[in-house]
Amino acid sequence: TQLLEQSPQFLSIQEGENLTVYCNSSSVFSSLQWYRQEPGEGPVLLVTVVTGGEVKKLKRLTFQFGDARKDSSLHITAAQPGDTGLYLCAGRSSGGSYIPTFGRGTSLIVHP
Amino acid sequence: DAGITQSPRHKVTETGTPVTLRCHQTENHRYMYWYRQDPGHGLRLIHYSYGVKDTDKGEVSDGYSVSRSKTEDFLLTLESATSSQTSVYFCAISVGGVNTEAFFGQGTRLTVV
């Protein structure tokens, strides 16, 4: 059973389009991270959200943590080819071990 | 960038041979992790360490062992490599505790033939 479910699994869009990817769980998370992984590289931390309802922005990327801290979303405005990569969410469930749990990721391709 | 170095970056080995992958950090972080990444499975935790000589198993630990004799080094050993262990292996580090932000190495692509 995957603790963190990400959707969609794959996304192929044209440059300039907007998109949203989702990270859902039945468990409450004390914190949640988003990472981006480019081909041949390790995942790179983008952001951490901690408070229910929290919204963080990183240039054209907007991250939101659900009010109940069970879900999160990543919205990209006006996607660019440089946004291509695998987007992973991860976190520690409340009361869980101090080991991050990862979703399986959303693979995004942005075509010029 | 977090100071994490994995070696080797690529390796081809034969079935049945032992293989050791090395992870070196310069951040003095307490926690170190080994993950494998395979299509359709995402990142799966093999073993982790929460201090020198303190290690524990992850969800896919069979066939793997680890050692951490110094804060900065975490070794992953495949005792007798099998084709099912062909994968990309990532080392990660974190401060630990409630902060589970992880910083990853560049990965080792291992092929077992």
Percent of all residues in chain B with a pLDDT value above 70, rounded to a whole number:
96
In chain A, which residues have their Cβ closer than 8 Å to the Cβ of B96? 98
B48/chain A closest Cα distance in angstroms: 9
Asked if A45's CB is within 8 angstroms of B101's CB, the reply is yes
Residue A20, Ramachandran bin (φ over 0: left; ψ between -120 and 50: alpha; else beta): beta
Residue A100: HSE in the Cβ half-sphere, 13 Å Cα cutoff: 31
In chain A, which residues have their Cβ closer than 8 Å to the Cβ of B46? none
Query: Does B41 contact A at CB distance below 8 Å?
Result: yes
Provide the domain limits for residue B26.
4-112
Confidence of residue A30 (pLDDT cuts 50, 70, 90): confident
Yes or no: say if A87 and A74 are a contact pair by the CB < 8 Å rule: yes
What tens digit of pLDDT does each residue of A4-15 get? 999 999 999 999
Kindly write down the DSSP assignment for every residue of B22-65, as one continuous string: EEEESS--SEEEEEEEETTTEEEEEEEEEETTEEEE-TT-TTEE
Report the residue from B33, B101, B105 with minimal CB separation from A48.
B101
Provide the pLDDT for residue A90.
Answer: 94
Beta-carbon pairs below 8 A across chains A and B:
55
**Assigned architecture for domain A5-111:** Sandwich (2.60)
What tens digit of pLDDT does each residue of A37-95 get? 999 999 999 999 999 999 999 999 999 999 999 999 999 999 999 999 999 999 887 77
Amino acid, single-letter form, for residue A9? Q
Provide the pLDDT for residue A3.
Answer: 82
Amino acid, single-letter form, for residue B100? T
Query: Does B51 contact A at CB distance below 8 Å?
Result: no
Q: Is the pLDDT of residue B89 over 70?
A: yes
Confidence of residue A101 (pLDDT cuts 50, 70, 90): confident
In chain A, which residues have their Cβ closer than 8 Å to the Cβ of B98? 30-31, 92, 98
At B62, which CATH number? 2.60.40.10
Element (H, E) at B73: strand B73-78
Q: Which tokens in the block code for residue B24?
A: 């070196």
User: Could you tell me which residues come within 8 angstroms of residue A95 by beta carbon, excluding any fewer than 6 positions away?
Assistant: none
In chain A, which residues have their Cβ closer than 8 Å to the Cβ of B101? 33, 45, 48
Domains: count for chain B:
1
Task: List the domain boundaries for chain A.
Answer: 5-111
